[in-house]
Amino acid sequence: MSPSLSDDRPLYHQLADSFAEAIHQGTLKPGKRLPAIRRVAQTRQISINTVLNAWQLLEDRGLIEARPQSGYYVRSVLPAVTPPAPHRARIKDPSSEKLDLIDQVFAAQNHPDYINISLACPQDGELYPSARLGRITASLLRRSPDLIGRYALPPGSERLREEIARRALHGGMSLTSDAITLTHGCMEALQLALRAVTQPGDCVGLESPTYFFLFPLLASLGLKALEIPTDPQHGLSLDALEMLLQEKRIQALIAMPSAQNPLGCCMSRQNKQRLATLVNAYQVPLLEDGLYDELQFDWPLSPAVKSFDSDGWVIYCTSFTKTVAPDFRIGWIAAGRFHEAVARLKAVSSMAESRLLSETLAEFLANGGYDHHLRTLRRRYAANMDEARGLIARYFPQGTRATLPRGGFVFWVELPQRVDTVAMFRRLLQEQICVTPGALYSLSERYNHALRLSCCYPFDERYTWALKRTGAIACELAGLAPGNDQGLPLRPQTV
């Protein structure tokens, strides 16, 4: 891939990203020497300084290393997480201890004095188009000051629903505005869908590991959880799912086929098509969580499972909280054959979303440069992921493994088995560092040695110190040396 004239980033960033992609795809393997700097400069028709800056960026991301009088080489990358061992799926309820731990983690994540390296809520103001949204809101109020003086009534902003239907084409979905219901974020969309398709006592299939707030959500609705093995690279095990469907053990399924939280994996197009075929054949609703779909690193986007839905059994849920405006809390749901039931539940629970915020978002989607904004986010998160993985390879215990996500900004780290990450979480709280232990992402004990980490923060001195310190504690608990022990700086001062 050559630097593009249409890309507004510095050439060295473009060059670094092209070589990072080659490393991730296996074209440049660990231990392989990079082409000579002068040769790259001549081939790409760029300056030697541009190549040097690109190589420095790749070094910072932990992808290459300089060897004196020899050149630059691809580093031994952080080992990938291996697929889980086969296990019998069992129906379980979250224990009170598990729910208490979720509360403790959530409280720590919201503590203003803690350095958070795990919360999946971007904290850098540059990641959101706040100024642009503010100007649009002000303009709308000048033109229509009565917007805040009228009730927002179902089904909500028609203009926003039209813009959503237009954008859904990127995910392969052919929707009309009438098929879309606006919701208060993605979690309300999932809740409405569950209420529409299940009864108390029903069993819902979940990926394992999965987003931990699904456990209390199911419990609040009187539903059981059944975990289904999920491959860290390929996603949900469709063979295991098909067996459960044949045995009629689940009445609904929740899955995140693209940029899955917490693994970051994306199912292949073929597997997505098979998943749609299965749920339609067995007439079991799939609640497709598409929260990170637009943050996939590959373009064009991998299509949603909903795009293969033949008879309306796939319910697509998502929101704009991770890409545009967290505080707007605007999501949407395309519920297929369950549309009317979901729309009625929305009307009697929270009526409709703010007219002013919905119109602001609609204007931004139509004319605010959303696609340019998304391209910037994808590049930023992909680079952050590389840099974080590089730090983990250097400072975490030998034997640590991590996923290599294809989108979003969270990834999964598995430490040596002897490390209890709940104990590690409590130890780090004493140093005002917050991580999310893997025990939250399953009702079993399979992930007690794992962590979910997040790369949606500025990679400043505080963040990198916290990541290095987390690695040091992990090394201590494991009784193992880090990949490359450089020592740790003193805790940075909060400015």
13-16, long-range: CB < 8 A, 24+ apart? 13/54, 13/57, 13/379, 15/40, 15/44, 15/46, 15/50, 15/51, 15/54, 16/54, 16/55, 16/57, 16/58, 16/61
Q: Is the dihedral of CA 191, 192, 194, 199 positive or negative?
A: positive
For 184-216, the pLDDT digits (tens) are: 999 999 999 999 999 999 999 999 999 999 999
For 324-346, the pLDDT digits (tens) are: 988 999 999 999 999 999 999 99
pLDDT of residue 79: 79
Q: What is the CATH number of the domain that holds 113?
A: 3.90.1150.10
Q: Do 114 and 168 lie in a common domain?
A: no
Whether residue 487 is predicted with pLDDT greater than 50 in this model: the reply is no
Number of domains the chain is built from: 3
Q: Do 398 and 365 lie in a common domain?
A: no
Average pLDDT, stretch 419-427? 96
Q: Do 191 and 331 lie in a common domain?
A: yes
Helix (H, G, I), strand (E, B) or coil at 401: strand
Residue 159's pLDDT band (cuts 50, 70, 90): very high
Whether residue 493 is predicted with pLDDT greater than 60 in this model: the reply is no
**What percent of the chain shows pLDDT beyond 70?**
94
- More confident of the two residues 61 and 164: 164
- More confident of the two residues 6 and 424: 424
pLDDT of residue 89: 63
Average pLDDT, stretch 259-265? 96
**What percent of the chain shows pLDDT beyond 90?**
71
Whether residue 31 is predicted with pLDDT greater than 90 in this model: the reply is no
pLDDT of residue 295: 97
Neighbour-count burial of 341, counting CB atoms closer than 10 A to its CB (0-12 exposed, 13-18 middle, 19+ buried): middle
**DSSP helix, strand, coil percent of the chain (3-state; round to 5):** 45, 15, 40
Q: Do 288 and 160 lie in a common domain?
A: yes
Helix (H, G, I), strand (E, B) or coil at 266: coil
Average pLDDT, stretch 250-264? 97
**CA-based radius of gyration for the chain:** 23
For 350-401, the pLDDT digits (tens) are: 999 999 999 999 999 999 789 999 999 999 999 899 989 989 999 999 999 9
The answer to the question of residue 302 being in a domain is yes
Whether residue 2 is predicted with pLDDT greater than 70 in this model: the reply is no
Instruction: Please state, in angstroms and rounded to a whole number, the distance separating the CA atoms of residues 263 and 138.
Output: 39
pLDDT of residue 484: 52
Average pLDDT of every residue of the chain: 90
C-alpha neighbours within 13 Å on the C-beta side of residue 76: 9
454 DSSP β-pair partners: 410
Residue 178's pLDDT band (cuts 50, 70, 90): very high
Q: Do 193 and 305 lie in a common domain?
A: yes
For 443-483, the pLDDT digits (tens) are: 999 999 999 999 998 888 999 999 999 999 999 999 998 87
Q: Do 338 and 217 lie in a common domain?
A: yes
52 lies in which domain range? 11-74
Q: Do 336 and 232 lie in a common domain?
A: yes
pLDDT of residue 492: 46
Helix (H, G, I), strand (E, B) or coil at 213: coil
Q: Do 111 and 193 lie in a common domain?
A: no
Decide the pairing of beta strands 450-454 and 436-437: antiparallel
Q: What is the CATH number of the domain that holds 35?
A: 1.10.10.10
The answer to the question of residue 144 being in a domain is yes
Q: Do 179 and 269 lie in a common domain?
A: yes
